[in-house]
């Protein structure tokens, strides 16, 4: 928890420049454009994230990710993170409910995993180094909610053979499977308790018919590299995976059963985006299909400082997956955001300069706010008009102002709330101010202004109708 005396530091450079950088890095044919770029991809700008694993539950998408440490020169990863959204554009930060420390037997490497729901419980399968053997093992953590807290209920690896990247899939007949592997591809049949399995660890034959031929591949003749993502659509089973190394691209195979035989189907996402790894996650949500991946598009981004991103896509009529390119715009908004109910300050379409942390009142808050920082909330449905704005704030200094702007960080000013000192970064109070001119559906910008240094923290906000 941050206190008045906790040194505050900025993790990422001011991310306003990310609009331009993301556009330049992601556009397959980067052309100078006279119009401003509407960047909403990558999804998270407050930290580096990797290995996206989306889960749809009760009308929301929960996005489970890894966390690349700032300035990493290796896959230095200590924890996993959770985000959620009901519109694919505004994402709420739920912090880190799972870390290496959750597993008493684990040493390091919080790498690519996936979570699934069964009978009201959430099971998150992750690869970590087993301290006792020094080998990669698969752990499973269990929670009563999609945002945790997650606990290691078995107190040991679920399975261990030195390989990584578990994906979990529950078939329509109720049988659950766990697949994983690099350089091989394995599966087990999970029991109904989801924390044990029956039968042996089975190798999936890596044939070129099943997984494509790797150019010049001798020790690894197929394209399969790592990061499988297995799911079923209709009666067809899909395995979307990271192909070739390095740099990776995303490819897929299909099968008539969860255990094969697999047939290679080609490329889903070409090698793009300044990261030599990529990692797929595929879901359907509100009647559309979405493809999650990662790249190195944020400032300072690269192979070990990655960011998760998303694109909307449509399956071809024959069930094949179209070629999907990385973009800096991402998926269109699926719905609108209601500004008249409490919205977490850490619900963000794009952020410039701020970070998040655990809030003493529960959940997360936005912090490290400095003069000129801002948060974009996309598609706020103001209807016939807002009359006032209230925010929950705290400040160990003398505070600052929240400018409410529409359409851009320097867009139309519809209200200004003054925040004073509260005596601590977690000493919370409400501030309110009148609002005029906010109607219809608008991109809302909370622009923070004030003196030098850190100004205040924000936990949540809400408009009241005029
Ligand atoms: O994030 C660490 C590793 O990089 C993952 O386990 C792989 O899938 C690759 O993305």
pLDDT attached to residue 85: 98
Q: Comparing C-alpha atoms, which of 416, 403, 418, 417 is closest to residue 373?
A: 403
Catalytically active residues are: 51, 225
Band of residue 457 on the pLDDT scale cut at 50, 70, 90: very high
Alpha carbon nearest to ligand 1 atom 8, residue: 227
Query: What mean pLDDT is predicted for residues 76-85?
Result: 97
Q: With pLDDT > 90 as the criterion, what percentage of the chain qualifies?
A: 91
Q: What is the rounded CA–CA span in Å between residue 70 and residue 108? A: 17
Separation of CA 393 and ligand 1 centre (Å): 37
Q: Look-up: residue for tokens 């209601």?
A: 338
Q: What average pLDDT score do residues 18-27 get?
A: 36
Atom of ligand 1 nearest to the CA of 75: 2
pTM for the structure as a whole: 0.93
pLDDT digits (tens, 9 = 90+) for 85-129: 999 999 999 999 999 999 999 999 999 999 999 999 999 999 999
- Residue having the nearest C-alpha atom to atom 2 of ligand 1: 111
Is the distance from the beta carbon of residue 350 to the nearest atom of ligand 1 less than 6 Å? no
Task: Please give the pLDDT value at position 29.
Answer: 31
Query: Starting from the edge strand earliest in sequence, which strands make up the sheet with 186-190, in order?
Result: 167-170, 176-180, 186-190, 197-203
**What is the structure's pLDDT at 216?**
87
Chain Cα centroid distance, residue 410: 28
Which pLDDT tens digit goes with each residue over 179-228?
Answer: 999 999 999 999 999 999 999 999 999 999 999 999 987 789 999 999 99
Give the residue-averaged pLDDT of 150-174.
Answer: 98
Domain spanning 343-465: CATH superfamily: Galactose-binding domain-like (2.60.120.260)
Q: Inform me whether the pLDDT recorded for 5 exceeds 50.
A: no
The CATH architecture assigned to 16-313 reads 5 Propeller (2.115)
Does residue 346 have its Cβ closer than 6 Å to ligand 1?
no
How sure is the predictor about 22, in pLDDT bands with cuts at 50, 70 and 90? very low
Q: What is the pLDDT of residue 38?
A: 60
**What's the CA-to-centroid distance between 303 and ligand 1, angstroms?**
10
Enumerate the β-bridge partners of residue 316. none
pLDDT per position as a tens digit, 222-254: 999 999 999 999 999 999 999 999 999 999 999
Q: What is the pLDDT of residue 335?
A: 97
Q: Which atom of ligand 1 is nearest to the CA of 127?
A: 6
What pLDDT is stored for residue 385 in this prediction? Answer: 98
Q: How many other C-beta atoms can be found within 10 angstroms of the C-beta atom of residue 32?
A: 6
Distance from the CA of 75 to the center of ligand 1, in angstroms? 8
Distance CA 112, CA 214 (A): 23
Whether residue 392 contacts residue 457, with contact meaning beta carbons closer than 8 Å, is answered with: no
Confidence of residue 377 (pLDDT cuts 50, 70, 90): very high
Q: What does the alpha-carbon distance between residue 206 and residue 195 come to, in Å, rounded to a whole number? A: 27
Q: For the chain, what are the domain ranges?
A: 16-313, 343-465
pLDDT tens sequence across 426-440: 999 999 999 999 999
Helix runs in 200-359, H state only: 208-211
Sheet holding 412-419, edge to edge: 350-352, 374-381, 441-449, 400-406, 412-419
Partnered with residue 380 across adjacent β-strands are 337, 442
Q: What is the pLDDT of residue 21?
A: 36
Report the pLDDT averaged over residues 363-378. 98
- Which ligand 1 atom is at minimum distance from the Cα of 66? 1
Ligand 1 center to 66 CA (angstroms):
9
Mutation probe of ligand 1 site: the residue of 52, 78, 111, 247 with most atoms within 8 A of C-beta: 111
Closest C-alpha among 333, 211, 352, 331 to residue 281: 331
Report yes or no: 18 and 299 within 8 Å, Cβ to Cβ.
Answer: yes
CB-CB contact of 369 with 433 (8 Å)? no
Is the Cβ–Cβ distance between 12 and 71 less than 8 Å?
A: no
Which of 68, 73, 166, 279 maximizes ligand 1 atoms within 8 Å of its Cβ, making it the mutation to test the pocket? 279
Question: C-alpha distances in angstroms, 320 versus 236, 249, 281, 327?
Answer: 10, 17, 16, 21
Q: What is the residue-averaged pLDDT of the chain? A: 92
Phi-psi region of 127 (alpha: psi -120 to 50; beta: other; left: phi over 0): beta
The Cα–Cα gap between 21 and 25 comes to 6
Region 436-451: mean pLDDT is 98
State the distance from the centre of ligand 1 to the C-alpha of 51, rounded, in angstroms: 6
As given in the structure block, the two tokens for residue 403 are 């400018």
For the residues 283-299, what does the mean pLDDT come to? 97
């Amino acid at each position: 928890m941050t206190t008045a005396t906790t040194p505050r530091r900025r993790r990422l450079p001011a991310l306003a420049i990310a609009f331009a950088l993301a556009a330049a890095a992601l556009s397959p044919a980067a052309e100078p454009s006279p119009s401003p770029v509407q960047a909403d991809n990558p999804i998270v700008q407050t930290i580096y994230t990797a290995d996206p694993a989306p889960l749809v539950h009760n009308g929301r998408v929960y996005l489970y990710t890894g966390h690349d440490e700032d300035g990493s020169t290796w896959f230095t990863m200590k924890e996993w993170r959770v985000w959620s959204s009901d519109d694919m554009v505004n994402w709420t930060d739920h912090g880190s409910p799972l870390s290496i420390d959750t597993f008493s037997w684990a040493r390091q490497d919080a790498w690519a995993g996936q979570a699934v729901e069964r009978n009201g419980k959430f099971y998150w399968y992750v690869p970590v180094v087993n301290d006792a053997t020094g080998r990669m093992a698969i752990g499973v953590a269990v929670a009563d909610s999609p945002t945790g807290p997650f606990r290691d209920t078995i107190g040991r690896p679920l399975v261990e053979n030195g390989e990584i990247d578990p994906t979990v899939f529950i078939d329509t007949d109720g049988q659950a499977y766990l697949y994983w592997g690099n350089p091989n591809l394995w599966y087990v049949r999970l029991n109904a308790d989801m924390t044990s399995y029956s039968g042996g660890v089975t190798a999936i034959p890596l044939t070129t018919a099943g997984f494509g031929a790797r150019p010049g591949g001798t020790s690894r003749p197929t394209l399969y590299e790592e990061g499988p993502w297995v799911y079923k659509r209709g009666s067809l089973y899909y395995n979307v995976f990271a192909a070739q190394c390095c740099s990776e691209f995303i490819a897929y195979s299909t099968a008539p059963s969860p255990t094969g035989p697999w047939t290679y189907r080609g490329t889903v996402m070409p090698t793009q985006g300044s990261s030599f790894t990529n990692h797929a996650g595929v879901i359907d949500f509100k009647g559309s299909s979405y493809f999650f991946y990662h790249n190195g598009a944020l400032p300072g981004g690269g192979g070990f400082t990655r960011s998760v991103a998303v694109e909307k896509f449509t399956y071809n009529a024959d069930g094949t997956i179209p070629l999907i390119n990385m973009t800096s715009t991402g998926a269109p908004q699926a719905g609108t955001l209601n500004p008249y109910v409490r919205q977490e300050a850490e619900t963000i379409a794009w952020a410039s300069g701020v970070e998040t942390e655990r809030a003493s009142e529960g959940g997360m808050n936005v912090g490290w706010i400095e003069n000129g920082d801002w948060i974009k909330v996309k598609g706020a449905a103001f209807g016939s008009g807002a009359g006032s704005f209230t925010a929950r704030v705290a400040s160990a200094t003398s505070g600052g102002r929240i400018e409410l702007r529409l359409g851009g960080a320097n867009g139309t000013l519809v209200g200004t709330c003054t925040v004073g000192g509260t005596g601590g970064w977690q000493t919370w109070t409400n501030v309110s101010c009148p609002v005029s001119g906010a109607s219809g559906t608008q991109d809302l910008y909370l622009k923070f202004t004030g003196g030098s240094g850190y100004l205040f923290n924000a936990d949540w906000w809400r408009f009241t109708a005029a």
